[in-house]
Structure 1
Amino acid sequence: MSAPVISTARFVLADPREAADLGAFLARLLRFDRAAAVRLQATPDETGAGAGTGTGEGSGAGVLAVYGRLPLGSAGVLALRTARLVRSADPSADPFVGPAVDLTVSAGQLLDGVDEEHGALAVPPPVTGPAWAGLLPPRGGWRPLGAVGADQVLPQLLAAVGEFKERTAQVPEHHRTRAVLDGIADEIWARPLTALPALPLRAAHAAYRIGFLHPGAPLTAHRAGGWLRLTAPHGTVALRAAAAPGAGLGLTPLA
């Protein structure tokens, strides 16, 4: 049983169902890394447009953005899940009430603070953030690259997963090193996504692995500077436009 979390803030979600969605997102991150951290950014939603890269309509009160990293290769891919906020439950006792909240916390402790019954989120004390948390995609300046349905993406994605499994199974055991398997993964996932050629296939792979890519879902692609993003109704993945050599999407095929 985990130790009690001493909360520094508590947020109430505009849609109580989003508490379960956030919990599922955190649980998936923890399957990749049991010590995962996430960066939280809570900002007023003056435009009603949400966080700009996430899901749902803005409520006018605020938007919470939760960033996590999928450790899929040396570069990794960032995943973003947003939720609309109503208010802070106890403003008089909340040291983070103000124009914005920006801190890095333990994903496991944050998951412990998800209150599905009341649609709320208790935020644990901040931790020293990993390097990736200091370099997030920009909030604005995104240029659209195209829009498709998930059904136009899934066939290529699943075929690539099958290829990855087949090719890695053919590697002799004594040559089955992480470097060799990552090299195969990088070759496959760096290919352009046929339905959205501006994006690499690794963007769709990451979106599927984190639970954002569902049959029939609308998908949009954007670029801002050196960043690319793929957005679905349940969340967004973002990655650098030019991946470093060897930065494959890792060794674990889709379930």
Structure 2
Amino acid sequence: MTLLAPLHFDDAREAAALAAFLTRLVRYDRAAAVRLQAGGGALAVFGRPASFDVLAIRTARLVDAVDLDVTVSAGELLEGIEESGGKAVVPDSVTGPPWAGVLPPRSGWRPVEGLPGAAEMRGAVAAAVAEFRARDEELPEERRTRAERDRIGHDIWSRTLGTTGLPLRAVHAAQSLGFLPPADTGLAPALFASGPWLRLRTPYGSIALRTAPMSLAVAPR
């Protein structure tokens, strides 16, 4: 049994792009959930890729002006996408994880200067990955523990990109989810801030995170 009639995308490529996003989310966490919000002919899909401590957002255009706000299984939603037909069956709702009640604001975003281009961002991620591997290999056998590796990872991925205040883990998440545009497209990511939130926006999706600890209370919408 499903909650609603199928969602019909404005373009079949929108369905394929959403499927690719969900596939990556499920690869990190088979039990991943996503929150869907639709209105005015647009759909926003929010997910939290495991280990990155950020929110990933993928949007799509819909044929109909559907009103929807529900949290569902990412895997079940993926199974319900018919790419060739440009539609998706919305599965039954699930009990949402705490993050699903604290989403980025819809308005009030202002540009943040100093964000490097996609090629430089990819280079920063590659350098961070190489540093992690080097530091991990240097650990003596008795210190090769999950806790020690987590400490190294936190040290590296918490570093900010230039003067933007954007942690490297957000850039890593954007690259891992396929959001960073290829260097030859000429498409540039942009960074925005609203209150305690930062949002890295690209033509393929957004990464959002709070610069202050996240409350588990539901934020006013």
Q: Do both share a fold (TM > 0.5)?
A: yes
The answer to which of 234-243 and 200-209 deviates more is 234-243
Partner of 2:69: 102
Q: Distance in 1 between matches of 2:47 and 2:89?
A: 17
1:148 deviates by 4.2
SS at match of 1:42: strand
Show CA shifts across 1:63-112 (max 9, x none).
11000001215xx1110000000127xxxxxxxx5xx3100000010001
1:172 deviates by 3.3
Alignment TM-score, normalising by the size of structure 1: 0.77
Task: Give the letter for the 2:55 counterpart.
Answer: L
The answer to whether the 8 A contact 2:26-2:74 is kept is yes
1:242 deviates by 4.1
Partner of 1:16: 12
1:169 deviates by 2.3
More strand by share: 1
The answer to whether the 8 A contact 2:192-2:199 is kept is yes
Task: Give the letter for the 1:223 counterpart.
Answer: A
Task: Give the letter for the 1:218 counterpart.
Answer: A
1:198 deviates by 2.7
**Aligned counterpart in structure 2 of residue 81 of structure 1, from 43, 58, 71:** 58
Alignment TM-score, normalising by the size of structure 2: 0.88
Q: Distance in 2 between matches of 1:161 and 1:229?
A: 22
Structure 1: runs of 5+ lacking an equivalent: 1-5, 45-61, 89-96, 245-255
Task: Give the letter for the 1:84 counterpart.
Answer: R
Partner of 1:7: 2
Q: Distance in 2 between matches of 1:148 and 1:219?
A: 8
Q: Distance in 1 between matches of 2:124 and 2:73?
A: 35
SS at match of 2:148: helix
**Aligned counterpart in structure 2 of residue 66 of structure 1, from 45, 49, 53:** 45
Show CA shifts across 1:153-173 (max 9, x none).
221221111101111222234
More helix by share: 2
Structure 2: runs of 5+ lacking an equivalent: 215-221
SS at match of 1:198: coil
Show CA shifts across 1:18-55 (max 9, x none).
111111100100011100100000011xxxxxxxxxxx
Q: Which runs of 4+ in 1 moved over 6 A?
A: none
Task: Give the letter for the 1:25 counterpart.
Answer: F
Partner of 1:232: 202
Q: Distance in 1 between matches of 2:16 and 2:7?
A: 14
The answer to whether the 8 A contact 2:181-2:203 is kept is no
The answer to which of 160-169 and 22-31 deviates more is 160-169
**Aligned counterpart in structure 2 of residue 33 of structure 1, from 12, 29, 35:** 29
Partner of 1:57: none
The answer to whether the 8 A contact 1:220-1:231 is kept is yes
